[in-house]
Structure 1
Amino acid sequence: MNSRIATLAKAVKEHPNDSFYKFTLALEMLKINEQQKAQVLFEAIRAQDPAYVGVYYHLAKLYTELGENKKALSTYKEGIRIAEEQQDMHTKSELSAALMNLEIEMDE
């Protein structure tokens, strides 16, 4: 385990309710192809801190990579709703574009 991952894992353990540490660790897990661990972290963030809007894009993208397109669709849509509530138009736009791309891929 590289030192960055070890440092982040320690931070998550010390601050289990801090979504930022979990999110950053999940992204590091993706870099080393630990998709299962990343998924657990992303899903924990969504469950514990649903307003953490950054998680929706990455979790939905991971679902797509795992062939879970229905989960990806619902995750994108949930993220769009949260972004609208927060008036975060940039994130809403990114999620909407990703959703549209997935819908197009599924129609092909």
Structure 2
Amino acid sequence: MKKRILKEVMKRAWKLARNGQRKFGGKVSEYLAHAMKIAWAWAKRNIDHLSGKEAREINFVRRGNVSEKQADYIVVLLQKIGDRVFDADWVKYIEECADKVRASAIIRELKMMAYAPKF
């Protein structure tokens, strides 16, 4: 995990713990464990925003031996996900997809993003 992400998680956790201490009294350290759980949950939901390079649009073009059905399904899933911000490496991985195995892996990941519960 990148230092930047860890730094953001710790800053958020300490901020939450201090707010809990101000609101309910006691020591900040008493609130830190629960604040860490909240901060990590937030980081997991927003990992793409924290990872630095990002892109909003992915231009998927069918290449190689990717089937037409797979290509169409990837485009549909990307549309379903909508305004999600993707890491630049992930964008490159999707855009350069040229075989059925990689397309299947991309579809599996996109399905998890598209149909995951939103909290």
TM-score by length of 1: 0.28
Where is the helix percentage greater, Structure 1 or Structure 2?
1
Q: Which has the larger radius of gyration?
A: 2
Structure having greater relative contact order (Cα 8 Å, sep ≥ 6):
2
TM-score by length of 2: 0.26
